[in-house]
Amino acid sequence: MKDDVVIVGAGASGAAAAWKLASAGLRVTCLEQGGWVDPADTPSLRPDWEIARQTTHHPNPNVRQGPADYPVDDSEAAIKPFLYNAVGGSTILWGAHFPRFRPSDFRVRTLDGVADDWPISYEDLAPWYEENDRIMGVAGLSGDPGNPPRGPRQMPPVPPGVAATRMARAFDRLGWHWWPCDVAINTESYGEGRGACNNCGPCDLGCPQGARSATDVSYWPMALRAGVRLITGARVFEVETDAQGRATGVAYLDAAGQVQRHRAAVVALAANGLGTARLMLLSRSKRFPEGIANDTGLVGRRLMHHPTGMVTGTFADAVEGWRGPFAVSILCQEFYETDPTRDFVRGYQMQLIRSDGPVGTAVGGYLPRVPWGPGHHARFRQVFGHTASLTVTTEDLPRDDNRVTLSATLTDANGIPAPKMTYSLDDNTRRMIEHGIARATEAFTEAGAVDITPQRLVANAGFHLLGTACMGADPGASVVDARSRAHAVPNLVILDGSVFTTAAALNPTSTIQALALRAADLLIRDRKGIEVAA
Amino acid sequence: MSAALLLDTLLPGDEAFPPGHVVAEALAAHDRFGPALERILALLPEDFASQPPEARVTTLAAIEATHSEAFSALVLAAYSLYYTHPKVAAVLEASTGYRAGPPQPGGHALAPFDPALLAIPAVRAPLYRPTPEAET
Ligand SMILES: Cc1cc2nc3c(=O)[nH]c(=O)nc-3n(C[C@H](O)[C@H](O)[C@H](O)COP(=O)(O)OP(=O)(O)OC[C@H]3O[C@@H](n4cnc5c(N)ncnc54)[C@H](O)[C@@H]3O)c2cc1C
C-alpha cells in the first residue's frame, strides 16, 4: 500500500513533521541516509574528545568524511558547509541556541525596501513556535524586551558563567540590550528520559545526559511511537514524477546499495538547505528538465548563511570558559533592527561564546592558532581559559548568484553528483560586520579585557543553510507557497530551511521546525483536496 | 630522530610543559594525522638534525611559507596529540585548575540562574520593530 507521505531526511525538520503527520493518523515513512548515533558513544566520554572534534566529529563533511556523508564542492564558497547526516540530522552536532525570528524579519521589503517579505508573518507562525518549544524543551526566560511576549519557558536559563556575567554588566553600563538565550538544553529533567545538563561544555560532540535536545532524543521516540516507519541507510537520489509533473514517490539506494522505489501520495523534503536543493536539481524529467519544481530557475539560488564576524576578549584572570554549553549563555540584540544613521540595512545579533578546551585553544578558532615555536607555551598560558567571544551574526540578504548547483566533477560514494556551493559576501554584510566588530570591541573594553582580537569573517561557520527553495506568494518569483508546497508540484512539500524567504540574523532551527510543524498541520487539514498522482 | 626534533621545534617545552617529541610515536602511527607528519618530514633538508635550534625554526618557517596547507595540517596534528597527552594534561591540571580528561560523565556543577542579574534589561521598553500585523 502506498504511503500518505514519504519524508526525505530525519533531522530537525523531518522529525518534527513526521511526528505531527503520524500523530494525525497518516501513513508516514522517513528515509534517512545516515544511521542512529548512540548518545552513549559520544567522544566526550573519552580522553581524545578534542581529537574527535578535529576528525571523526568535525562539522564539515569534507573533513569528517563519514560513511553517511556526501562531499560538498566548496571551492568557490567563502563560508564552508557544516552539517551532519544521521537520525537527528545536524542537531546531532548543534549548539542548541534557540532564538525565534523577530516580527520584522518577515517584513524586510515593507520595512526596509530590500529582498522580499515572507508570505506569512511572525504572528502566523507563533503557535507552532510554542508547540515546538514544548516538545524540544526550552531553557530561558520570557520577558525579553527585544522580542514579542511568549509563553513561559519550560526551564530556567543556563547559568551564564564568569565571562557572560562580566559582559552582561558591561552591556548594562553601555545601555545595551542583552538577555539570557533561549536554548534547547535541559536545565532540569524534561522530556522522555532526558536528564539535566551537567555543564560539561562540548555540546557539539553529543550529550550522554540527553540534556541537549537533538531530535533523535526529542521528536524521534514520539514519532516512532506514533507509527512512523524510519528507514536508515537510505540515500534518496530522485523525486519521481508522472507526466503531469506530480510527485509519485522517491528512488533511493538502500544500505546494500540496491535501488529501491517508494511511492507516496505526498513527498516531503527535509534534507536541509543543501541536501534538498541537491535532490531537487537531481530530479530531472521531461516536465522538469532543470530539476523538480524549478520552472523559475530559483531552486538552489538565494543561498543564505549567517556571515559571522567574531571578536575575542582575553581577560587577565581566568574566566573558566571551558565550563558550560559552549554556544549559549547570553545574547545582545541592540543592533538588530535597521537604523538609517548606519551605512547598512538590517542588523545583527551578538552571541556570547565560551572558550575552548586545550586543543581547541591551541589550534585556534575563536582566536588565531597559538604560534608554534619559542613563544608557544607562554602564549598558550595567556589565553587558555581566559577568553570569551562575541559573534557578530549578520542578516544575509538573498542574491541569485549565491547558490547550490550540482558539481560537474565531484560525486558521493554512490556516484551521485555532489552539491557545489558558490557563495560570496556583499558590501552590506561587510559593513554590518565592521560595525559589529567595533561594538563588540567596545563591549570587551568596557568589560576590562586586556587583549581584543577581531576576525572579519569566520569561514568555518556554514551551519545555517537557507533559502534555496524560497517561499513566496508569487509562483513566478518563488519555489513554494505560504504552506511550504511547491507552486509547480501540488504534492511536493519542503520542510527545511530551503524555504526561508530571508534569513534574519538569528539561528534558524526553531523557525525551521515551526515551519515544518505548520506545513504538516496544513497538509493534514488540506489532504483530501491535494492533487496527487494516480 | 628528525620527527622528534621537528616536534621539539614546534613545541619546545618549558619548565612545566614537556617538549613536543612526547607525541612523536603516536603521531607517526595515527591513521588520520600520520600522513601530515610524513609530508613535512619529506620536505626537511638533510642537515635538519645537525642545525642549531634557531636555524631549525628558520627552516620550518620557510617550509610553512611555501607549503602552508601541509604545514598547517602538521601543526593541527601535533597540537591535537600534544594537548591530549597525559603528561601535558597533568601540567594543565596543576597550573590552571582545568580538569583534563573526558568532559563526561563528570561535567561541572550547574549553578542556578540568578534573576537579579536582569534588573536592568528587564525594565527596558520593547525594542523590536512594529510590523503591520502587530499594529492591527
Ligand atoms: C556544529 C553545528 C552547530 C549548530 N548550532 C546551531 C544552533 O545553536 N542553533 C540553531 O538554530 N542551529 C544550529 N545549527 C544548525 C541546525 O543544526 C540546522 O539548522 C538544522 O539541523 C536544520 O534542520 P534540517 O531538518 O533542515 O536539516 P538537518 O537537521 O541537517 O537534517 C537533514 C537530514 O537529511 C538527510 N539527508 C540529506 N540528503 C539526503 C538524501 N539524499 N537522502 C536521505 N537523507 C538525506 C541528512 O542525512 C540529514 O540527517 C548547527 C549546526 C551545526 C552543524
> Which of A48, A178, A338 is facing B121, going by the closest CB pair?
A178
For residue A42, which residues of chain B lie inside 8 Å, CB to CB? 104
Q: Are A511 and A101 in contact (CB under 8 A)?
A: yes
Give the burial string for A145-168 (b: 16+ CB within 10 Å, else e). Answer: bbbeebeebbbebbbbbbbbbbbb
What's the DSSP call for residue B59? H
CB A388, CB A321: distance < 8 Å: yes
Determine whether the shortest distance from the Cβ of A274 to ligand 1 is under 6 A.
no
With a 6 Å cutoff on the Cβ, whether A463 touches ligand 1 is: yes
Domain A3-354+386-530 has CATH 3.40.50.9100: no
Q: What is the ipTM of this complex?
A: 0.96
Tell whether the model's pLDDT for residue B135 goes beyond 70: no
Residues in chain B: 136
Long-range contacts of A406-412 (CB under 8 A, 24+ apart): A406/A278, A406/A281, A406/A282, A407/A73, A409/A73, A410/A71, A410/A73, A411/A71, A412/A69, A412/A70, A412/A71, A412/A235
Position B133 confidence tier, pLDDT thresholds 50, 70, 90? confident
For residue A94, how far is its CA from the centre of ligand 1 (angstroms)? 8
| pLDDT at res. B97 | 87
Tell me, using a 6 A CB cutoff, whether residue A283 lines ligand 1.
no
A372 reaches B (C-beta below 8 A):
yes
User: For residue range B28-51, what is the model confidence (pLDDT) as tens digits?
Assistant: 999 999 999 999 999 999 999 999
B136 pLDDT band, cuts 50/70/90, is low
Range 131-150 of A in CB contact (< 8 A) with B: 141, 143-148
Going from N- to C-terminal start, the domains of chain A cover: 3-354+386-530
Give yes or no for residue A97 CB within 6 A of ligand 1: yes
Percent of chain B whose predicted confidence (pLDDT) is above 70 = 97
Residue for grid cell 539560488: A301
User: Which residue from A7, A20, A83 has its CB within 8 A of the most atoms of ligand 1, so it is best to mutate?
Assistant: A83
Of B89, B125, B128, the CB nearest to A104: B128
Please tell me whether the peptide bond between A145 and the residue prior to it is cis, using omega within 30 degrees of 0. no
Q: Are A212 and A158 in contact (CB under 8 A)?
A: no
Joined grid coordinates for residue A415: 556516484
Task: Assess whether pLDDT exceeds 90 at residue B1.
Answer: no
Beta strand A179-180 pairing with A247-253: unpaired
Q: Which residues pair with A266 in a beta bridge?
A: A5
Rounded Cα–Cα distance for residues A274 and A276 (Å): 6
Q: How many CA atoms are closer than 13 Å to the CA of A220, on its beta-carbon side?
A: 27
The CA distance from A407 to A443, in Å, is: 43
Beta strands A73-77 and A417-423, pairing class: parallel
A83, A59 Cβ separation under 8 angstroms: yes
Q: Which is nearest to A261 in space by CA: A241, A244, A280?
A: A241
Q: Do residues A522 and A515 touch, judged by C-beta distance below 8 A?
A: no
**Residue-wise pLDDT tens for chain A (534 aa)?**
789 999 999 999 999 999 999 999 999 999 999 999 998 899 999 999 999 999 999 999 999 999 999 999 999 999 999 999 999 999 999 999 999 999 999 999 999 999 999 999 999 999 999 999 999 999 999 999 999 999 999 999 999 999 999 999 999 999 999 999 999 999 999 999 999 999 999 999 999 999 999 999 999 999 999 999 999 999 999 999 999 999 999 999 999 999 999 999 999 999 999 999 999 999 999 999 999 999 999 999 999 999 999 999 999 999 999 999 999 999 999 999 999 999 999 999 999 999 999 999 999 999 999 999 999 999 999 999 999 999 999 999 999 999 999 999 999 999 999 999 999 999 999 999 999 999 999 999 999 999 999 999 999 999 999 999 999 999 999 999 999 999 999 999 999 999 999 999 999 999 999 999 999 999 999 998 888 998
Q: What is the distance of C-alpha A204 from the center of its chain?
A: 13
Residues of B in contact with A361 (CB under 8 A): 83
> Which of A364, A56, A359 has its CA nearest to residue B84?
A359
Long-range own/partner contacts, residues A224-227 (CB < 8 A, 24 or more apart): A226/A19, A226/A22, A226/A23, A227/A22, A227/A27, A227/A28
Nearest to A179 by CA among A94, A95, A99: A99
Query: Going by C-beta distance under 8 Å and a sequence separation of 6 or more, which residues neighbour residue A385?
Result: A318, A319, A320, A321, A322, A355, A361, B96, B97, B98
Counts for chain B of helices (H) and strands (E), in that order: 7, 0
